């Protein structure tokens, strides 16, 4: 055990020395040399030509190694990766269909789940899933009424727009993507990674600072054995998931809020953006063509930014969800049918721009809570929060470090229903995560990550777990 800890510590030290050297080298290069857009380049101008026609082609590789150094079920390491093949088209430049867009995402998952070693409930990796190739998203969006109304229909990831905390996008634990009480709801979870279903979503921009969105989705999304995710069975027994969210946002001038989290999340948000009301929909650049580029953000060298006043960004959202189908009602001794399942959640995040020379957020923090129907849900309460600091190395343009905590509460009624005489379960599983992410250049990033899991799997027998991971993202 001591040897593993020493090896992990030595790796972190070497990694940070590498970042320090790399940041100094990059600081001496011109902006053009510093920021290659993609690993495969511009394809002799073909990529730019596609962008001019409203067509974006993206390929993103995300891979990671996670080792359970202490506690949990057993010591061990796992490797897993996701290959994303993404295609998006904006019909404005090539067809008379104003405000119409289409998006397709096919991904392949490979590797083993680190939870097999850790034994936790919330999930130490947000890309862990069954090995498969499948259609992840395929939808059409239509913007209407001067882009104040958006209607989306197709195979859809709910968490790409609902229950989203931009600041929390840095962290690898699944509970920072969608709260544990919502993620485990329903008979197969909601329509989100890795199982997505058919949905209809409507989004309305009432004012500069107020937005409302609602969606109705298949109550039981894609089953694991559904090859390629191309077969969807909508029936009365599955029911529907209905969810709505009210978003309040304050933003004096939208200046690239939270641009550095996972590229995978970044592109999913970008594909749904309104052009005019970019405060809510993550289109932070002024030029429409720049927003259509397959590069996930438009960076400017710091020396060209100029003086800017201190600014803050904050988002407050309140949401709720309801399943229409019947569920098992656990009542200590009797298993009954219970109609519907519900939950509500709230989230808040805020960024502080404290560097007049740099308009990117220097300090951001977030908080989220959620409750669900304790009669049918395994987790009935969730609370989480964290803080992220950007710009750790002054000469490295895009890097972040943050610490966050996520706590899931096991439903008392659920425990009473499944426990036998003498068995015990802890009420809370708590995940504490420390993570650092650096974009070495425009197409490559590295992210070492450390997590401490208290009461993994709510199991009082398992010792607290310590995991160390390293994630990389390569954009082709």
At 265-307, the pLDDT tens digits run: 544 444 444 333 333 333 222 223 223 222 232 233 222 233 3
Greatest mean pLDDT range, 13-17, 46-50, 123-127, 222-226: 123-127
Residue 283 has a pLDDT of 28
Top-confidence residue, 5 or 380: 380
- The verdict on pTM exceeding 0.85 is no
Residue 237 has a pLDDT of 75
CA 457 – CA 411 distance, rounded (Å) = 13
Using only C-alpha atoms, the chain has a radius of gyration, in whole angstroms, of: 22
CA 419 – CA 414 distance, rounded (Å) = 9
CA 425 – CA 433 distance, rounded (Å) = 23
* Mean pLDDT, rounded, for 192-216: 93
First to last CA, the chain: 38
- The residues facing 346 across adjacent strands are 318, 369
Query: Class assignment of domain 2-475?
Result: mainly beta
User: Is the separation of the CB atoms in 171 and 123 below 8 Å?
Assistant: no
Residue 338 has a pLDDT of 62
What six digits make up the tokens of 210? 């107020």
- pLDDT tens digit sequence for 414-462: 887 777 666 788 999 999 999 999 988 878 999 999 999 999 999 989 9
Q: What angle is formed at CA 461 by the lines to CA 458 and CA 462, rounded to 5 degrees?
A: 70
* Mean pLDDT, rounded, for 45-74: 93
CA dihedral over 409, 195, 282, 437, signed as positive or negative: positive
Task: Determine what percent of the chain is predicted with pLDDT higher than 70.
Answer: 71
- The residues facing 304 across adjacent strands are none
CA 42 – CA 40 distance, rounded (Å) = 7
Q: How many helices (H) and strands (E) does the chain have?
A: 9, 16
**Does the pLDDT of residue 62 top 90, yes or no?**
yes
Alpha carbons within 13 angstroms on the beta-carbon side of residue 155 total 22
CA 32 – CA 131 distance, rounded (Å) = 39
Residue 51 has a pLDDT of 87
Average pLDDT, the chain: 79
């Amino acid at each position: 055990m001591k040897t593993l800890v020493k090896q992990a510590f030595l790796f972190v030290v070497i990694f940070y020395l590498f970042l320090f050297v790399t940041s100094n080298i990059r600081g001496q290069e011109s902006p053009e040399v510093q920021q290659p857009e993609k690993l495969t380049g511009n394809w002799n101008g073909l990529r730019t030509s596609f962008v001019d026609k409203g067509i974006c082609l993206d390929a993103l590789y995300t891979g990671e190694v996670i080792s359970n150094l202490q506690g949990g079920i057993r010591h061990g390491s796992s490797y897993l990766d996701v290959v994303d093949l993404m295609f998006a088209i904006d019909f404005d430049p090539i067809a008379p269909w104003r405000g119409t867009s289409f998006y397709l995402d096919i991904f392949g998952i490979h590797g083993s789940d680190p939870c097999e070693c850790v034994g936790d409930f919330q999930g130490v990796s947000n890309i862990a899933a069954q090995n498969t190739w499948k259609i992840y998203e395929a939808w059409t969006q239509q913007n209407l009424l001067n882009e104040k109304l958006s209607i989306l229909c197709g195979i859809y990831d709910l968490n790409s727009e609902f229950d989203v905390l931009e600041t929390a996008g840095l962290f690898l634990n699944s509970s920072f993507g969608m709260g544990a009480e919502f993620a485990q709801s329903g008979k197969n979870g909601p329509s989100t990674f890795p199982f997505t279903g058919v949905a209809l979503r409507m989004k309305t921009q009432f004012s500069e600072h107020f937005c409302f969105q609602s969606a109705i989705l298949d109550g039981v999304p894609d089953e694991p054995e559904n090859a390629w995710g191309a077969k969807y069975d909508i029936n009365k027994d599955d029911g529907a998931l209905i969810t709505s969210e009210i978003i309040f946002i304050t933003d004096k001038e939208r200046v690239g809020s939270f641009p550095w989290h996972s590229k995978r999340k970044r592109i999913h948000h970008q594909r749904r953006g309104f052009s005019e009301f970019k405060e809510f929909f993550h289109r932070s650049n002024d030029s429409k063509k720049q927003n259509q580029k397959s590069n996930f953000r438009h960076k400017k060298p710091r020396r060209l930014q100029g003086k800017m006043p201190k600014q803050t960004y904050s988002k407050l959202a309140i949401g709720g969800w309801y399943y229409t189908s019947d569920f098992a009602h656990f009542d200590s001794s009797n298993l009954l049918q219970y109609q519907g399942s519900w939950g509500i959640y709230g989230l808040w995040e805020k960024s502080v721009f404290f560097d007049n020379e740099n308009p990117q957020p220097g300090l951001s923090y977030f908080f989220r809570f959620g409750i669900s129907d304790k009669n049918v849900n395994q987790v009935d309460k969730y609370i989480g929060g964290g803080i992220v600091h950007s710009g750790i190395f002054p000469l490295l343009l895009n890097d972040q470090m943050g610490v966050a905590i996520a706590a899931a509460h096991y439903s008392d009624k659920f425990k009473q229903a499944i426990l036998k005489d003498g068995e015990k379960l802890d009420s809370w599983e708590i995940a504490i995560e420390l993570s650092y992410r650096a974009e070495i250049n425009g197409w490559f990033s590295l992210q070492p990550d450390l997590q401490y899991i208290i009461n993994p799997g709510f199991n009082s027998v398992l010792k607290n777990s310590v995991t160390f991971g390293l994630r990389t993202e390569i954009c082709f």
